[in-house]
Amino acid sequence: MAQQLPSAPFPILTSVSEVREWRAARQAAGEQVGFVPTMGALHDGHLSLVRASLLANEATVISIFVNPAQFAPHEDLATYPRTIEADIAALASLTIPVEGSSSPRTVSALFLPPISALYPSGIDTDVSKQRGTFLEVKGLQEVMEGVSRPGFFRGVATVVIKLFNIIQPTKAYFGQKDIQQALLLRRMLTDLHVPAPLASNLVIIPTYRDAASELALSSRNAYLRAEERPWATVLIDALHKAQQVWDEQKTKGAVVVKDVLEAARASVRAVEKKAQEEGKGVEVRLIYVALNDPDELWDLEKGESAMVPRGKGAVLSGAVMLGRTRLIDNLVFDYPLN
Amino acid sequence: MAQQLPSAPFPILTSVSEVREWRAARQAAGEQVGFVPTMGALHDGHLSLVRASLLANEATVISIFVNPAQFAPHEDLATYPRTIEADIAALASLTIPVEGSSSPRTVSALFLPPISALYPSGIDTDVSKQRGTFLEVKGLQEVMEGVSRPGFFRGVATVVIKLFNIIQPTKAYFGQKDIQQALLLRRMLTDLHVPAPLASNLVIIPTYRDAASELALSSRNAYLRAEERPWATVLIDALHKAQQVWDEQKTKGAVVVKDVLEAARASVRAVEKKAQEEGKGVEVRLIYVALNDPDELWDLEKGESAMVPRGKGAVLSGAVMLGRTRLIDNLVFDYPLN
């Protein structure tokens, strides 16, 4: 790569052949490999995934790759935060003591591929101009985030299967923050009978939240202007209101889908109004709030029944625009993620 | 499986877990695994692939699976020939002496999955009703056979990546008869960085032809009525006419694309006319003849240049309907397939 990289206490691999060689050595050493795919701009949420991998695997590899195929032409590919030096420093600082061993575990390698390694014939964000192999996960890709972002999960599934095939991890780690991504990728692993990682080894780590506000950490939070930050909890506050309705109705039996959703929507609407009145130019806008089946991601609001029966869980998710920044969050009810 | 299978001198595996166990044993024994995916109705063409695999690998596994996803709703999924007893007998009869070894090589295993193993949530031939993970190879899937059969290569790529992930073969064998399939799948392996088989280990075996007539063997030849059989060489005869033009022009320099194609089309048209006049109800109809770049499958007739320069090869392919039977064939000029 033309770019000069900071020195790191772990190898920085940039080609597929380097990764294959590194992986073969791990195999020969009998080591399990944990893998955390990222787009960089690492924050404590990402680092919690890396920590989980360090705890469970002898070797941990992280990838940083801002994947053009998951951005629409009008989206923020060019301006997506790129903080490679800080990312490497953050990864280098991670040290996990291992019970029964005198040497702590640290990151084993960073995979930092150029675009040409993952898209040898190039990649256009305009789907109609793309050539080559792409994956879709029909049904699961069209709901929730997929409604506002057609093509997004196609881009995600395509790059992740490539990364999996290159790294062949024993386990792979994803954040609950992007719950649809994690469940859709697990379905992809099941459908395609991918051997590494097995679907049962896709691990979903709870969303990392700011301790005081419960705001979910996100690389896109960096886009928020100072005056917008106090309003950033609008979505998680709304989801918590809906959770109260879920919990109350669940203790009595089935849950009425529209009651849960209306609690969240009313909460966002109230904040939208408040921002208009006192926000000094801050704009809050609800994109969607949805309740979905955790296995098939069916939209429960469009389902045949208006109720979620006792014993069935659900994913409550939503997106809001805060000024020009798109924030997403979710809560999962009564469903074990791992 | 409910169906009673004939006894075979090799294990018949029907579940993914049985294959994984079989594969792990091959790995432990240090054996290379050759794989021949088929839809059954095995003929000498298939058997030539199996022989090539037996020669090059310590273990050879064949799959037989009639893949619903590659049939359109109006196509012949229900009536596609199924001859499992004869297929097993043919595979059992194959014995290849190995130089330097006293025991000849024979087929190691047959993978005979039920539909539920490859499509756990079922599979509808109507694309709009499908759910789950599907692959597309954009650009390469829309030309040649893909013009008349939209969705065909999507179905092929999807089932083959599943079979590859289950079997994890060292090498996989495909017939030149289905040249677009072989080149598209090789591109899929490259694009997705599939580790087993590597793209360079997808082996393309020359089309197996009837010695006297040069007719390419095909499971669909079984559909031909007795009075249609004498007309079945219409396509390969036309391709040979075009090959003469290619060879003549190539010795002088560049080749004029339309001259090659016109030679083939004129040849088919003459046979169409002859069949009308003397065929006693036999109908011959040209679907297409095309000349394509062997790497990218660009349609050279639609290309910017009307010429194929010296040093560049091409794929000449076509399809004809003979009565209700669709016959395909191809010749590859000046391009090494392996």
Query: A295 in contact with B at a CB cutoff of 8 Å?
Result: no
Chain B partners within 8 Å of A131 (Cβ)? 138-140, 296
Q: Do A138 and B131 touch (CB under 8 A)?
A: yes
Q: Do B165 and A191 touch (CB under 8 A)?
A: no
E strand map for A164-209: 171-175, 202-205
Q: Verify that B181 and B271 share a domain, yes or no.
A: no
In a domain, B248, yes or no: yes
Query: A63 in contact with B at a CB cutoff of 8 Å?
Result: no
Q: Is the separation of the CB atoms in B287 and B318 below 8 Å?
A: yes
The number of C-alpha atoms within 13 Å of B326 and in the hemisphere containing its C-beta is 10
Q: Verify that B247 and B304 share a domain, yes or no.
A: yes
Q: What is the pLDDT of residue A279?
A: 66
Mean pLDDT of B61-84: 94
Closest CA relative to residue B175, chosen from B207, B198, B200: B207
Q: Verify that B232 and B307 share a domain, yes or no.
A: yes
In a domain, A212, yes or no: no
For residue B267, pLDDT over 50 is answered with yes
A24 Cα to chain B: minimum distance (Å) = 12
For residue A2, pLDDT over 60 is answered with no
Q: What is the pLDDT of residue B234?
A: 97
Chain B partners within 8 Å of A116 (Cβ)? none
For residue A293, pLDDT over 80 is answered with yes
Report residue A134: phi and psi, to 5°. -135, 150
pLDDT digits (tens, 9 = 90+) for B188-206: 999 999 999 999 999 999 9
Q: Verify that B232 and B179 share a domain, yes or no.
A: no
Which of B130, B139, B188 shows the shortest C-beta gap to A131? B139
pLDDT digits (tens, 9 = 90+) for A198-220: 999 999 999 999 999 999 999 88
Strand A59-64 and strand B255-256: pairing? unpaired
Beta-carbon contacts below 8 Å between A and B = 75
Mean pLDDT of A67-82: 92
Q: What residue of A is the nearest CA neighbor of B16?
A: A193
pLDDT digits (tens, 9 = 90+) for A122-159: 899 999 899 999 999 999 999 999 999 999 999 999 99
Mean pLDDT of A94-117: 93
Percent of chain B with pLDDT over 90: 88
Specify whether A46 is catalytic: yes
For residue B99, pLDDT over 90 is answered with no
Q: What is the CATH number of the domain that holds B142?
A: 3.40.50.620
**CA dihedral over A255, A259, A261, A267, signed as positive or negative:** negative
Q: What residue of A is the nearest CA neighbor of B141?
A: A132
Mean pLDDT of A80-92: 95
Q: Verify that B231 and B167 share a domain, yes or no.
A: no
Which of A132, A140, A166 shows the shortest C-beta gap to B187? A132
For residue B173, what pLDDT band results from cuts at 50, 70 and 90?
very high
Mean pLDDT of B234-249: 98
For residue A6, what pLDDT band results from cuts at 50, 70 and 90?
confident
Average predicted confidence (pLDDT) for chain A: 95
B116 Cα to chain A: minimum distance (Å) = 11
In a domain, A103, yes or no: yes
For residue A229, pLDDT over 80 is answered with yes
For residue B104, what pLDDT band results from cuts at 50, 70 and 90?
very high
For residue A1, pLDDT over 50 is answered with no
Contacts of B201 (CB under 8 A, 6+ apart): B169, B170, B171, B172
**CA dihedral over B52, B53, B54, B57, signed as positive or negative:** positive
Q: Verify that B119 and B263 share a domain, yes or no.
A: no
pLDDT digits (tens, 9 = 90+) for A115-129: 999 998 889 999 989
Q: Verify that B121 and B150 share a domain, yes or no.
A: yes
Query: B193 in contact with A at a CB cutoff of 8 Å?
Result: yes
pLDDT digits (tens, 9 = 90+) for B105-135: 999 999 999 999 999 888 999 998 999 999 9
Q: Do A165 and B136 touch (CB under 8 A)?
A: no
Picking from A205, A231, A257, the residue at the C-terminal end of a domain is A205
Q: What is the pLDDT of residue A62?
A: 98
In a domain, A261, yes or no: yes
Note down the domain range covering B278: 219-333
Mean pLDDT of A33-50: 97
Contacts of B110 (CB under 8 A, 6+ apart): B8, B10, B11, B12, B13, B61, B62, B63, B64, B88, B91
Q: Verify that B45 and B115 share a domain, yes or no.
A: yes
For residue A177, pLDDT over 80 is answered with yes
Q: Verify that A133 and A223 share a domain, yes or no.
A: no
Q: Structural domain tally of chain B?
A: 2
Q: Do A195 and B157 touch (CB under 8 A)?
A: no
Q: Is the separation of the CB atoms in B47 and B94 below 8 Å?
A: yes
Q: Do A135 and B131 touch (CB under 8 A)?
A: no
Which of B16, B135, B162 shows the shortest C-beta gap to A133? B135
For residue A9, pLDDT over 80 is answered with yes
Picking from B183, B205, B227, the residue at the C-terminal end of a domain is B205
Q: Verify that B236 and B314 share a domain, yes or no.
A: yes
A110 Cα to chain B: minimum distance (Å) = 18
Residue B176 Cα distances to B74, B196, B301, B338, angstroms: 26, 21, 22, 11
Which of B136, B140, B193 shows the shortest C-beta gap to A162? B193
Q: What is the CATH number of the domain that holds A325?
A: 3.30.1300.10
Chain A partners within 8 Å of B296 (Cβ)? 131
For residue B2, pLDDT over 70 is answered with no
pLDDT digits (tens, 9 = 90+) for B176-186: 999 999 999 99
Bridge partners, A61 (sequence order): A35, A109
Which residue has tokens 């019970």? A99
A33 Cα to chain B: minimum distance (Å) = 16
Q: Verify that A194 and A231 share a domain, yes or no.
A: no
pLDDT digits (tens, 9 = 90+) for B4-31: 777 899 999 999 999 999 999 999 999 9
For residue B1, pLDDT over 50 is answered with no
CA A1 to chain centre: 27
CA gap A216, A209 in Å, rounded: 4
Decide: helix, strand or coil at residue B80: coil
In a domain, B338, yes or no: no
Q: Do A120 and B193 touch (CB under 8 A)?
A: no
B289 Cα to chain A: minimum distance (Å) = 23
In a domain, A1, yes or no: no
Q: Verify that B21 and B113 share a domain, yes or no.
A: yes
Percent of chain B with pLDDT over 70: 99
- Return the DSSP state at A128: G
Closest CA relative to residue A91, chosen from A106, A80, A104: A106
Task: Name the amino acid, one letter, at B137.
Answer: V
Percent of chain A with pLDDT over 90: 88
Contacts of B2 (CB under 8 A, 6+ apart): none
Query: What secondary structure does DSSP assign to B139-193, as a single string?
Result: TTSSSTHHHHSTTHHHHHHHHHHHHHHHH--SEEEEEGGGHHHHHHHHHHHHHTT
Which of B132, B168, B191 shows the shortest C-beta gap to A195? B168
Burial of B199 (0-12, 13-18, 19+ CB in 10 A): middle
In a domain, B111, yes or no: yes
Chain A partners within 8 Å of B20 (Cβ)? 195
Average predicted confidence (pLDDT) for chain B: 95
For residue A292, what pLDDT band results from cuts at 50, 70 and 90?
very high
A221-230 b/e (C-beta count within 10 Å ≥ 16 → b)? bebbeeebee
